[in-house]
Amino acid sequence: MALLETKKLTKRFSGLNAVTALDLSVNKGQILGLIGPNGSGKTTTFNLISGVLHPTSGKILFKGKDITNYQPHTIARMGIIRTFQLATVFQDLSVVDNLQVALHYKSGVGFLQMLLETPEMARRQNSLVLEKATKLLDIAGLNNLASQKAGNLSAGHQKLMSVIMALAGEPEILLLDEPMSGLNAEEIQTLIRLVKSIREERGTSIIMVEHNMKVVMEQCEYIVVINFGQKIAEGTPSQIANDKRVIEAYLGSE
Amino acid sequence: MLFQVFVNGISLSLIYILFALGLTLIMGIFDICNFAYGEFVMVAGFAMYLIIGKWGLPYFLAPIVALVLVSFLGVIFEKAIFYPMRNRGGLEPALATFGVSGALQAGALLLFGGNPKGVPAIINGEVKLGSAYFPLENLPVIIGGLLMIFLLFLFVQRTKFGLAIRALQQDQEAAALQGMNISSIRIVVWVIASCLAAAAGILLSPISYVIPSMGQGLLLKGFAVVIMGGLGSIPGALLGGFILGFVDSFGQTYLGTYSYMFAFGFIILILLIRPQGLFGRR
Amino acid sequence: MKLPKWQTFFPVLIVLLLCLLPIFMHSPRYLSLFDQLFLNLVLAIGVYSLWSVGLINAAQPVFFGLGAYTVAILIIRVHLPYWLIFPIAGIVPAAIAAIFGFLGLKMKGSYFLFLTIALCELMVWVFSSWKSLFRGQVGYFPIPQPVINIFGHSVRFSESLTPYYYLGLILVVVTCLFYFRIHGSRIGRVWESVGKNENLLANMGISVFSQKQICFIASCFFAGLAGAIYAPYMTVVSPTQFTLWQGIWIVLGVLVGGAFSPIGAIIGTVFMAILNLYLTKFTQLQPLILGLILFLVLLFMPSGLFGLPERIKAKIKDSTGKVSELEHKKIV
């Protein structure tokens, strides 16, 4: 059984068909690429899966359970976490504070607890969270920037941050929305390494929306191509590379 | 009696609709509350009072002056408040309008005092229709209101500007990317919204009192209409204004002081069933 | 917000001075001014807290009034002792806040402001019209003065304003401790982020709506407690005491002081209290002046008085050619 499945997922915006009858499926530990020309509905698909938008029709199934129309935070808690293209981190908070916020839900400490706990308990809780935050920063190699204001970091570093912040929620599926955009070659390599290690060590499935064809072809095991909100092709990278419809879609839209 | 309440309801509806249309236009495109929108109506009302009531100038002059004056006010708002603050999030400009609202009201209070001013209606008297009486002062309101709405529709549906506005309503970023001149379109939107408010004031002043706080109550109700109809939705403003006008008219006559509550309660009920408003999108 | 040593020392000093003040100052007028200030501070900090989650609440007086009415009703009609009513006076507004929040918190910040304005108008109407519960325009009068027994010594509130002064001071200190604790902790970070990037937070499994609810309920709880002190202090509770106008004053106080920090809220409220002393002569001009202040602060000083030193530092750094790391703190 696929980990995540969409069945005939459709989203209409007052006359505009953003996504039409999209069938996707992702297995455990798989890296799936979602590609297509600009405006083909990739981000809308992510918005639908993560609950930010509700579909006009169709279903989303996670581990066989129907999660269509669930709230975004519920979906995140169930194990589907995404990154965003823009506004990736909390600009005004420090790097480590960003991670602390990301870890907040998993820390299991609610408002009432924070009120009632003794200073001793509070200190222990906080150091636990700080430990986890530091470990995550280690993975991305950002520990030396921990106290910097997140808004001052380079785009590449902010992207790395957004990935480990998503990781903080211990997701089973990671949705990466154009993670490579705005990064230089070195940063791309770092991010690829990070993503790969996430898959290797935690068995996390990854769906990647990307424009960088090289990255997609090299890293994804399976690719779905959409145009005008509809799936026009799917297959392994080599199958896609030779697919006439895909080539047409990209050339035709230039 | 019932017939008069009904006619009153139509007049009120049209005024609410005009007000709500302007408000929903602003809120849909600029995504902020203009807390001083009620004061636009007040300014128009006082313009009517000054020109017809105090200075005794020809009647047709007053609406024109009111429209021009309020449009001017709207443009000032755009240039001084909304365009400079457009990137600062929704709260700061809203707060600024709040301050201006209070200032305008206080200014009017200082200039004119708190006593209600009257504006004579164009037509007076009543016409007997069968067994009921039709108060003729409602006639200009109904005709004028319908005319304004019709003109607005022509503009929005048939002209290039109207198309641009509709595009802005859907997606501001895409519109900017398509090369539309956002700042001048914004000014056009403000002028339209200001004219709508002015129209509401022009139509309202003969059938109600002109006082500095006349905009406040209207803003509250207008806002409720816009939320009920769905933010940024023109059909929503139409339907919402229509409903509220009648609810208000009937409420005021038959329920007295409870009419306020009735209107609000009704709106809350709708919102509970459909949180995005009647026509809103999710 | 880890405070450096001098910043923990300073507030303790101030609180100590305030504790000692009534010994040297017997004038009831000044005691009363300070007490009002304390209550306003409690309201203002609650408003600040909501501001940090991106909501502006102009209806604080409503919850303040609910607390006051609760005390009035329970003391006069049910004859409960004051110490028992006191916490109830906080719970009632908190419950109303929960109900109101259910509908109102689903809206965006500037629309929420409108809703609080509507709530204010609504509640004033309810207070005046629901005669059987609230006794209309006349309200509740007189409110019996509480007598509290501490360590066998009876504190009679009827004798002077001093007990009210200390009660108000205690409430402010407790409120400050509460809010400084929260806003210095991880939850404070979460709340600040709610105001700025809701989607990102939802993605981390945090229910933005729940956080807003908690914040709102807490601030209304404290507002209610402040009302519980206000009722016997004024000896009368009537609808005209809880107006939208006061709500706006409180919001302005938070804005002028700097809406990004509880310290800003405190500074701003003190400033507004002083301003109020001078403006009592010009009641007609008040809306005009306040409107202008609001407008000018938003345009030229969005981070308020408390944010001024940092902005000046940033401007100096800029002008010396160094790259400034300080950014003008957004309040929204």
Residues on chain C touching A109 (C-beta within 8 angstroms): 186
Classified as helix, coil or strand, B127 is strand
pLDDT, tens digit, 9 for 90 and up, residues B20-51: 988 888 887 777 778 899 999 999 988 888 88
Query: β-strands A4-13, A16-26: how paired?
Result: antiparallel
- Going by pLDDT thresholds of 50, 70 and 90, the confidence category of residue C76 is confident
Contact (Cβ atoms closer than 8 angstroms) between residue C239 and residue C124 = yes
Count interface pairs B-C at CB distance under 8 A: 96
Q: Are C71 and C232 in contact (CB under 8 A)?
A: yes
pLDDT at C151: 67
Instruction: With cut-offs at 50, 70 and 90, classify the pLDDT of residue B83.
Output: confident
Indicate the burial class of C24 (C-beta count within 10 angstroms; 0-12, 13-18, 19 or more).
Answer: exposed
Tokens of A19: 């996504």
Exposed / middle / buried, residue B170 (Cβ in 10 Å: 0-12, 13-18, 19+): middle
Q: Which residues of C touch B261 (CB under 8 A)?
A: 122, 125
CB–CB contact B281 A54 (8 Å): no
Residue B106: the pLDDT is: 85
User: Do B123 and B137 form a contact (C-beta atoms < 8 A)?
Assistant: yes
> Is A54 within 8 Å of B282 when comparing Cβ atoms?
yes
Q: In whole numbers, what is the pLDDT of chain B averaged over residues? A: 79
Whether the pLDDT of residue C223 is over 90: the answer is: yes
Q: How confident is the model at residue A251 (pLDDT cuts 50, 70, 90)?
A: low
- Mean pLDDT along residues B261-279: 67
Complex-level ipTM: 0.85
Contact between B170 and A14 using a beta-carbon 8 Å cutoff: yes
Asked if residue B255 has pLDDT above 60, the reply is yes
- Chain C residues within an 8 Å CB radius of A158: none
What is the spatial distance between Cα C222 and Cα C220, in angstroms, rounded to a whole number?
A: 5
Query: Any idea which residue has 């007076």 for tokens?
Result: B124
Please name the member of B88, B103, B257 whose beta carbon is closest to the beta carbon of C292: B103
Span A91-131, pLDDT tens digits: 888 898 899 899 888 877 777 777 777 778 878 888 888 88
Query: In this predicted structure, what is the pLDDT of residue C323?
Result: 39
Interval C148-175: pLDDT, tens:
777 666 777 777 778 888 888 999 999 9
Please indicate if any CB of chain A lies within 8 Å of the CB of B183: no
**Separation in Å, CA B218 to CA B4, B117, B193, C103:** 21, 17, 15, 22
Give the distance, in angstroms, between the CA of residue B242 and the centroid of all CA atoms in the same chain: 13
C44: alpha, beta or left, given left = phi > 0 and alpha = psi -120 to 50?
Answer: alpha
Give me the total of CB pairs closer than 8 Å, taking one residue from chain A and one from chain B: 5
Taking residues A20-43, what's their average pLDDT? 87
Helix (H) or strand (E) holding C215: helix C208-234
Question: Would an 8 Å CB–CB cutoff place C301 in contact with chain B?
Answer: no
